[in-house]
Amino acid sequence: MTETLLAATEAYVKAQLAEAEAGHDWWHIHRVHTLACKLGETERADMLVVQLSALLHDIADAKFHGGDEELGPARAAAYLAQTALDAERQKHVVDIIRHLSFKGGFNEGRFYSLEYAVVRDADRLDAMGAIGIARTFHYGGFRNRTLYDPAIPPVQYADREAYKSSTAPTLNHFHEKLLLLKEGMLTESGKRLAEGRHAVLQAYVDQFLAEWHGEA
C-alpha cells in the first residue's frame, strides 16, 4: 500500500501545484520531502506520516487562496479520506498541515508530535540558506515589492494579521522571519543544518547592506 499511496499522492500534489509561484511549487515540496526523509530517519519518526505531511503541506496555501487557512487542511483531509490510510494517521497528517505555517511566529506551541517537528524543520530549512534567499526575492517580485528601503525598518508585528498583510520591502523579511528560524528548530538534526543555512543568510544580509552603502 505504502509505495502506491506515496506515488499517487505525489501525482495529486504535482497536479494541484501546476500553476504555483516558484517559491511554493512542486520543487519546494520535493525539497521539503527529501529533507524530511533525512531528518525523519535520524529522529526515528513514523515515515509514512512524515512523507504524506511533507507532500501535502502546501496544496492550498492561504496566501494564494484569499487567506483561507482551512482550505489546505480540508483538501488534504478530503484527499486522504479516499485512500486506504488508517483514520488515526489521516488525522495526524491533517493536524500537522494545519499547524505548520510560520505566520509571524503566532502559531507556535499549539500542536506537537515528532513527525510535526520533522516536517516543520524541513519546511523552515527550505526558507533558509541559498534557496531561502532565492525564494524570498522571487516572492517579493511576485508581489511587486521593493528590494530594500532604508526608510522602512523591519518591525515586530503585533499579531498574525499584521504579519500576513505586510507589504514591506523584501529585505525586511530576513529580519522579520528568516533570521528568526534557527532558534525555532525543533529537532537536533534540524538544528545542525540550520546553523550553516543561518550563516549564509546573515552573510548575505551583511554583504547586501555593505554594497547598498557603497562599502563593499
Asked if 140 interacts with ligand ADP (CB under 6 A), we say yes
**Considering only 66-74, 97-105, 191-199, 208-216, which stretch makes contact with ligand ADP by CB under 6 A?**
97-105
In angstroms, what CA-CA distances link 98 with 91, 110, 111, 162, 176?
Answer: 10, 10, 9, 20, 22
| Total binding residues toward ligand ADP, as defined by CB under 6 A | 16
Interface with ligand ADP includes 103 (CB under 6 A)? yes
What is the C-alpha to C-alpha distance for residues 216 and 213, in angstroms, rounded to an integer?
8
Distance (Å, whole) CA 214 – CA 83:
58
Contact residue for ligand ADP among 135, 182, 197, 198 (CB under 6 A)? 135
Nearest distance from C-beta of residue 23 to Ni ion, angstroms: 9
Q: For residues 149 and 136, give the distance between their C-alpha atoms in angstroms, rounded to a whole number.
A: 16
178-213 residues labelled b (16+ CB within 10 A) or e (exposed): bbebbeebbbebbeebbeebbeebeebbeebeeeee
Binding letters toward ligand ADP, positions 142-171, x by CB under 6 A: ------------------------x---x-
Regarding 40 and contact with ligand ADP (CB under 6 A), the answer is no
Binding at 103: pick from ligand ADP, Ni ion, none (beta carbon under 5-8 Å per type): ligand ADP
Residue 38 or 63 with smaller CB distance to ligand ADP? 63
